[in-house]
Amino acid sequence: MSLVAASAHVQQDQPAGVPPLTLTGERTLPDVPAEHYWYSRHLVVYEWIAERVEGLRVLDMACGEGYGCATLARSAATVTGVDANPEAHEHARLRYTQPGLSFERALVETYGQPGSCDVITFLQTIEHVRDPVAVLRHFRELLVPGGVAYVSTPNVLTLAPPGALKSDNPWHLREYRAQEFRELCEDVFASVEVYGVYHARRLRAHALALAIGWDRVHRGLGLTRAFYERFTPSLSSRDFTLSARLPLYRALDFVAVCR
C-alpha cells in the first residue's frame, strides 16, 4: 500500500536512548509510514484482546517490537513479552516501561513454567514455526485451568496469489486456510473459536473504489505515489474489524480463541 523507498523503512522519532528497528518483513513495526497498514491490521487484534484480559497475567509470545505488550498492559495485571531476537528485545525493554510490563529474551518453544499464566497471545507467528503443534502444546501447559490462548495467522487465500500455496514472504513456512488453521488448534485445545479480521471504514471504501477502477484512475492521473504516501500513514486500527459472522474465506487474518 505504499511506494516509500526502502531507505525509509526504519522507525522514526524514537524516544531518546531507544535504538530504532529496521523493517525486514519478519515483524511489523510502528513508526514506519510505509508499514502503517500492516501495523494497524495487527494492532486491532491486540486491542480486541486487551478488552478481554483485565486483571489477568498475560504472556505475549514472539512479542517483537513490544507495541502489543504495551497495549495489553493497559488492562492486564501483568504482561511479559517474550522474544528471541536481541535487537527487538532491547528495543522493547527500553521503549515500553509501564508498571506490570516486562520483557524476556527467550525461545517461545521453551520459555515459562506450567500453570504460570492466565492468557497467552501468539499473533502472526505460528506461520513462522517448524512444529506448530509442539508450540501450541507447550502453551497449553503454561496456562492455568480455564486459561486462554489467542493465536492469529494470515489467511493464505487473501495473502498469496490465487492458487499459490503461500505468499512470497520468506519468513513464512506455511500459511493456512480457515479450516486448516482451526484443525491445527483443535489438535491441542478442546474448544476453539475462530474470528476473521476484515477491512472497515476507509479500507472498505478503498476496496470498493478498487473494484470500480480506482487503480486505472490514479495511475492515469499520476497520483499513485502522492495518494498512498498520505493514505497509508493515516490508517488506524479503526479501519479494521473482527467478526465471527462474516465468511472466513474472505478474512485477512484468522484469530483463534483456544481453551
Q: Which helix (H) or strand (E) holds 125?
A: none
pTM of the shown model: 0.93
Q: What is the pLDDT of residues 184-219, one digit of tens each?
A: 999 999 999 999 999 999 999 988 888 888 777 677
pLDDT given at position 209: 83
pLDDT given at position 207: 85
Distance, in Å, from the CA atom of 9 to the CA atom of 53, rounded to the nearest integer, reads 33
| Full DSSP string of 122-178 | EES-GGG-S-HHHHHHHHHHHEEEEEEEEEEEEBHHHHSPTT-SS-S-TT-S--B-H
Instruction: For residue 258, list its beta bridge partners.
Output: 149, 192
CA distances from 223 to 212, 213, 230 (A): 17, 14, 11
Sequence-distant (6+) residues with CB within 8 A of 214 are 206
Judge contact between 103 and 83, C-beta under 8 A.
yes
Phi-psi region of 112 (alpha: psi -120 to 50; beta: other; left: phi over 0): left
Q: Minimal CA–CA distance to 79: which of 25, 118, 39?
A: 118
pLDDT given at position 116: 96
What pLDDT tens digit does each residue of the chain (259 aa) get? Answer: 333 444 478 999 999 999 999 999 899 999 999 899 999 999 999 999 999 999 999 999 999 999 999 999 999 999 999 999 999 999 999 999 999 999 999 999 999 999 999 999 999 999 999 999 999 999 999 999 999 999 999 999 999 999 999 999 999 999 999 999 999 999 999 999 999 999 999 999 988 888 888 777 677 777 778 888 888 899 999 999 999 999 999 999 999 999 9
Q: What is the pLDDT of residues 108-128, one digit of tens each?
A: 999 999 999 999 999 999 999
Domains of the chain (ranges plus CATH)? 6-258 (3.40.50.150)
Distance, in Å, from the CA atom of 113 to the CA atom of 227, rounded to the nearest integer, reads 49
* Planar angle of CA 137, 139, 143, nearest 5 degrees: 120
Judge contact between 255 and 194, C-beta under 8 A.
yes
